[in-house]
C-alpha cells in the first residue's frame, strides 16, 4: 500500500464527507493505493455514524472509536500503530489542511528521501491572538530541539516514512513535537513544505490558549528526558554536589570568621546567630537531597526493562 492517511478528530461530523471525497479524488487521480484511518477521539456528535457510513461506501475508509476523549496524541499514536502504508500522512479533520498537498509530500518522502516532512502554513487564516503565540512557541521549539529548518512544529499536515511512525511513541500532548521525537529516535532527515491553509468551514476550534502554556511544559519535559532520562545522576548529582560544596565552604567561612574575630579580640556573634550559617546549612541539605534524587533515578533506570533498548537500523552478520 502506498499511503495511509491518519485523521484524528473530535466532533467533526459535518466536515468528514467532504474530506473523504477530497482525499479519494486526489488518490484516484494519482493512482495511489491508500487507506484513510479516521480516529474518533470520543466525539459526542454523529462523527462515528458518519465514519461507518463512509466505510460502507468506500472500503479504503477505516476507523477507530475511543470510548471517551483522550486527546490528539493518543489518537495519532493509535493511527500510527494501525497504519499499513509505506508513507503515512497526517492531517486534521476540519478541512483546514488540503489533501491536494498529498502527492508532493509523498514525492518528498519517496524520491527526496526525507524521513519526515512537516507542513508550514506560511499564510494563516487565524486571529493574531493565535498566530503571535504560535510564532513564539515555534521559535522556542527550534532553539531547544535544534531543528532549525522548521517554522511550524504543530502543523497537523505531515508525511512520514512508515518506519518513523513505527519507532516513535506519541503520548500526553507530545504531538506538537513529533519532529523532535523523530530526531531523538535517529531520524534526522527532516524537511518542510509550504502548504495551503484554509479557514475553518464548519464548527469551531477545539484548542484554547492553555495549549501554549502546556506546550512549553511538554517541551521542557521532552528536553530533560532526552538529555538526562538515562543518566539522571549527571544532572541531579552534579547540581547537588555543587550546592553541597558551596554550602560546606560557606559554613567553614562563617566559623573561621568567628575564630579570627575571637583571636584578634574583635567583637563577634555566635555562629548560630548568623543568617549566613542557616543559608549554608540549607544549601548543604538541598545538595544532599538532589544527590540522593540522582542516585534513586539511577537505580530506577538500571532496573528498567528498556535500559538496553536501542534503535538499530541494519545488522550485518557473518558465520
Q: Domain-by-domain residue ranges, the chain?
A: 3-228, 233-302
Nearest to 198 by CA among 99, 128, 125, 130: 125
User: What is the C-alpha to C-alpha distance for residues 258 and 268, in angstroms, rounded to an integer?
Assistant: 6
Position 56 confidence tier, pLDDT thresholds 50, 70, 90:
very high
Mean pLDDT within 170-181: 88
Mean pLDDT within 29-53: 96
Residue 14 C-alpha cell reads as 459535518
Higher pLDDT, 108 or 230: 108
Higher pLDDT, 63 or 140: 63
- Across 35-39, 131-135, 204-208, 261-265, least confident range: 204-208
Q: Is the CB of residue 146 less than 8 Å from the CB of residue 170?
A: no
Q: Is the CB of residue 37 less than 8 Å from the CB of residue 233?
A: no
- Res 185 pLDDT > 80: yes
Q: What pLDDT is stored for residue 37 in this prediction?
A: 97
Q: What pLDDT is stored for residue 57 in this prediction?
A: 95
Q: Is the CB of residue 107 less than 8 Å from the CB of residue 101?
A: no
Q: What pLDDT is stored for residue 204 in this prediction?
A: 67
Q: What pLDDT is stored for residue 132 in this prediction?
A: 73
Q: Cα-Cα-Cα-Cα dihedral of 65, 70, 71, 75, to 10°?
A: -40
User: What is the C-alpha to C-alpha distance for residues 181 and 240, in angstroms, rounded to an integer?
Assistant: 29
Position 209 confidence tier, pLDDT thresholds 50, 70, 90:
low
Mean pLDDT within 289-312: 77
The helix/strand/coil state of 8 is strand
User: What is the C-alpha to C-alpha distance for residues 55 and 312, in angstroms, rounded to an integer?
Assistant: 37
Please write the tens of the pLDDT for every residue from 251-287.
899 888 888 888 888 887 787 788 888 999 999 999 9
Mean pLDDT within 158-165: 96
Does the domain at 3-228 match CATH 3.20.20.150? Answer given as no
Helix and strand tally (H, E) in the chain?
Answer: 10, 7
Q: What pLDDT is stored for residue 295 in this prediction?
A: 87
Residue 252 C-alpha cell reads as 567553614
Given strand 190-194, what is the order of strands in its sheet?
Answer: 61-65, 34-40, 3-9, 87-90, 158-161, 116-120, 190-194
**What sign for the dihedral angle of Cα 84, 18, 91, 24?**
positive
Range ranked top by mean pLDDT from 160-174, 263-277, 289-303: 160-174
**What sign for the dihedral angle of Cα 257, 263, 266, 272?**
positive
Round the average pLDDT of the chain to a whole number and report it: 87
Residue percentage of the chain with pLDDT more than 90: 55
Amino acid at each position: 500500500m502506498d499511503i495511509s492517511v491518519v485523521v484524528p478528530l473530535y466532533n467533526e461530523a459535518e466536515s468528514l464527507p467532504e474530506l473523504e471525497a477530497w482525499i479519494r479524488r486526489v488518490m484516484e487521480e494519482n493512482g495511489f493505493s491508500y487507506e484513510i484511518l479516521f480516529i474518533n477521539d470520543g466525539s459526542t456528535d454523529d462523527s462515528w455514524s458518519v465514519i461507518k457510513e463512509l466505510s460502507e461506501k468506500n472500503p479504503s475508509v477505516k476507523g477507530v472509536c475511543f470510548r471517551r476523549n483522550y486527546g490528539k496524541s493518543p489518537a495519532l499514536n493509535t493511527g500510527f500503530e494501525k497504519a499499513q502504508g509505506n508513507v503515512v500522512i497526517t492531517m486534521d479533520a476540519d478541512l483546514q489542511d488540503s489533501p491536494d498537498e498529498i502527492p508532493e509530500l509523498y514525492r518528498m518522502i519517496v524520491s527526496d528521501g526525507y524521513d519526515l516532512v512537516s507542513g508550514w502554513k506560511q499564510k494563516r487564516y487565524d486571529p493574531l491572538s493565535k498566530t503571535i503565540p504560535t510564532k513564539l512557541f515555534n521559535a522556542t521549539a527550534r532553539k531547544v530541539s535544534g531543528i532549525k529548518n522548521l517554522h511550524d512544529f504543530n502543523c497537523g499536515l505531515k508525511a512520514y516514512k512508515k518506519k518513523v511512525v513505527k519507532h516513535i511513541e506519541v503520548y500526553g500532548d507530545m504531538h506538537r513535537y513529533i519532529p523532535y521525537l523523530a530526531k531523538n529516535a535517529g531520524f534526522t532527515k527532516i524537511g518542510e513544505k509550504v502548504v495551503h491553509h484554509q479557514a475553518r468551514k464548519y464548527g469551531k476550534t477545539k484548542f484554547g490558549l492553555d495549549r501554549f502554556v502546556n506546550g512549553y511544559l511538554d517541551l521542557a519535559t521532552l528536553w530533560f528526558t532526552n538529555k538526562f532520562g538515562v543518566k539522571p545522576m549527571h544532572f541531579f548529582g552534579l547540581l547537588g554536589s555543587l550546592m553541597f560544596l558551596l554550602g560546606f565552604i560557606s559554613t567553614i567561612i562563617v566559623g573561621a570568621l568567628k575564630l579570627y574575630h575571637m583571636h584578634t579580640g574583635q567583637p563577634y556573634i555566635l555562629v548560630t546567630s548568623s543568617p549566613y550559617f542557616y543559608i549554608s546549612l540549607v544549601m548543604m541539605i538541598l545538595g544532599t537531597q538532589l544527590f540522593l534524587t540522582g542516585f534513586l533515578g539511577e537505580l530506577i533506570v538500571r532496573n528498567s526493562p528498556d535500559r538496553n533498548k536501542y534503535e538499530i537500523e541494519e545488522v550485518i552478520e557473518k558465520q
